[in-house]
Amino acid sequence: MMRLSEQARGRWSVAFRTLAGTLGGYGLTSLVTVALSLLLALIGMDRVEAVTAATLASFAIFAAIAMAAFHVRSAARAWGWLLAFAVPTGLAVMLMLPGAKG
């Protein structure tokens, strides 16, 4: 079996972390933005203001996720953390959607 050199392993790790920080970060940021706008609307904020506030917060959220992808020890942990936050956030979004029965 062919083994990757240390340099190749490091490059693949950076590539997978970059994917986690960009694609995974984009997906999780979108979920969090939807959840935050629904939550703000549920507690009484005007819907337009709720969406605007959540969208403004999304820039900081995306930056934090991208930095966290390079902070963890491995790309697998980065993807694991993304999934660990995405699943409950997605469930919360489904429960907060208008017409959801919970």
For every residue of 16-31, DSSP letters joined together read HHHHIIIIIHHHHHHH
Residue found by looking up tokens 């995405």 in the block: 86
For residue 9, give the 3-state DSSP assignment: helix
pLDDT attached to residue 46:
96
Q: pLDDT tens digits, the chain, 102 residues: what are they? A: 668 788 888 899 999 999 999 999 999 999 999 999 999 999 999 999 999 999 999 999 999 999 999 999 999 999 999 999 999 999 999 999 987 665
Which CA distances in Å does 65 have to 6, 31, 62, 68, 84?
Answer: 27, 13, 5, 5, 13
Residue 31 CB: number of other CB atoms within 10 A? Answer: 19
CB under 8 A, 24+ apart: contacts of 46-52 = none
pLDDT attached to residue 99:
78
Going by C-beta distance under 8 Å and a sequence separation of 6 or more, which residues neighbour residue 17?
Answer: 69, 70, 75, 78
Query: What DSSP element (H or E) covers 38?
Result: helix 25-42
pLDDT attached to residue 98:
82
pLDDT attached to residue 1:
62
pLDDT attached to residue 54:
98
